[in-house]
Amino acid sequence: MRAVRTRSGSLTSLREGNRKRVIDALRARGVASRADLARITGLSRSTISTIVGDLVEAGLAGERDGQASDSDGEVHAGRPPVMVSLNSSAGVALGVDFGHRHLRVAVSDLSHSVLAETWRELDVDHSASHGLDAAADFVAQVLEEAGADRGRVIGVGMGLPAPIDRSSGMVQDASILPGWVGVDAAAEASRRLGMPVEVENDANLGALAELVWGAGKGRSEVAYIKVSTGIGAGLLSGGRLQGGAGGTAGEIGHTLVAEGGPVCRCGNRGCLETLASTRAIAGHMSASRGEEISTRRLLELCAAGDAAAQRLIGDAGRAIGIAVANLCNLLNPECVIVGGDLSAAGDVLLEPLRTVVRRNAIPSAVESLEIVPGVLGERAELLGALALVMHESDRFYASRLESEAG
């Protein structure tokens, strides 16, 4: 956690520190009752009331009557609690998602409402420079659509479908995103946009998105598995992303599941990706049918009951189950969320996956585990890029917000 800047002695710094805790809690939650804020921050109800009063008076926060279901704090027998959220005058967040074939950009306010959003196709072999030019155009477009001034942007979350070294900001693997290798993506994007930018890989953003908006809502120990052309995991503990020493934690696609198996793009043999990625499955399907089968066609065949498609996807579920069982033994998550393109196969994928996890993990690691599909589909990474700005607040020091509130 960052040190709180002092202005005039310890009382001021204590007050500023408390205000930052309330603002951070509101950014992370979007909407919260005063009781929720007291529980999350550990501050007294009267301190919360003073800080919320100051924020409302400064025009940075608003209050409205809530529903009983809005609050996850204590049970309210009587009137539903008043809910507090930051106003869009307190700032907006930008999300930029580069996929293998698309670019998506969105702007949201700090109560987690998406204000404007747009997308276009973008070839996987695009250069970083071409991609960032397109992103800058889209940023201008969504801000105008939302009626938001550039000066109100508190940060930009940016997703790339590749492992990213946290200290250098560089894309680490030339085989995955060749146009971005050697580019300090966050620094370059920040220079072009004139805004603070943080970069994360797609699986980590999917995990954050499902935590804030989707299947992981209200949970804190979550593993998100993205199964698409590659396979990656986003790991959340205490509601925070776990990046590891260099930001590459979660490369579950390159864990060994078949000794001596097919050669992987990483150079090893028998990695999970070589058996269970959509690229691997569609490859087998194409070979057996003597025609090119896309991921979309594979999923259509599966839904129509094609035996080979269902068998291959079931086998993928079993292979992923081995890796997930190992992950559960190590990390003991409360919830495993399966997202990415292949999650559209539903129980054809998930049932064999669940069976193998129950068979292979130690019982205490999985007795209360839920394995569920992601609910955000192709918008997961974009929403995760927005969530990065709101949730990982120490990576975006909201100086404007805090100075105005002071």
Interface positions with Zn ion (CB under 5 A): 254, 264, 266, 268, 271
Least distance from Zn ion to the Cβ atom of residue 353, Å: 20
317's CB contacts (< 8 A; 6+ apart) are 276, 348, 349, 350, 351, 352, 353, 356
Least distance from Zn ion to the Cβ atom of residue 123, Å: 24
- Three-state SS for 385? helix
Least distance from Zn ion to the Cβ atom of residue 270, Å: 8
Alpha-carbon span 199 to 169, nearest angstrom: 7
- Three-state SS for 359? helix
Q: Tokens in use for 24?
A: 């951070």
Least distance from Zn ion to the Cβ atom of residue 356, Å: 20
Least distance from Zn ion to the Cβ atom of residue 263, Å: 9
Give me the amino acid identity at 142.
Answer: V
Least distance from Zn ion to the Cβ atom of residue 253, Å: 7
Q: Could you give the residue ranges of the DSSP H alpha helices within 241-306?
A: 272-276, 278-289, 295-303
Alpha-carbon span 380 to 206, nearest angstrom: 5
Least distance from Zn ion to the Cβ atom of residue 154, Å: 37
Residue (105 or 323) nearer to Zn ion, CB: 323
Beta strands in 217-290 (DSSP E): 222-227, 231-237, 240-241
Least distance from Zn ion to the Cβ atom of residue 323, Å: 12
9: Cα within 13 Å, side-chain hemisphere? 1
Alpha-carbon span 366 to 370, nearest angstrom: 8
Residue (143 or 271) nearer to Zn ion, CB: 271
Q: Tokens in use for 194?
A: 């004139």
Query: In which residue are the tokens 């194409």 written?
Result: 286
Residue (4 or 258) nearer to Zn ion, CB: 258
Let me know: does 370 contact 334? Beta carbons within 8 Å: yes
CA 69 to centroid of chain Cα atoms:
24
Residue (126 or 254) nearer to Zn ion, CB: 254
Residue (56 or 266) nearer to Zn ion, CB: 266
Phi-psi region of 228 (alpha: psi -120 to 50; beta: other; left: phi over 0): beta
Residue (20 or 254) nearer to Zn ion, CB: 254
Residue (12 or 268) nearer to Zn ion, CB: 268
Residue (241 or 272) nearer to Zn ion, CB: 272
CA distances from 119 to 73, 116, 214 (A): 37, 11, 21
| 92-98, strands of its sheet edge to edge | 114-121, 102-109, 92-98, 153-160, 197-201
Residue (94 or 272) nearer to Zn ion, CB: 272
Least distance from Zn ion to the Cβ atom of residue 116, Å: 38
Alpha-carbon span 263 to 275, nearest angstrom: 10
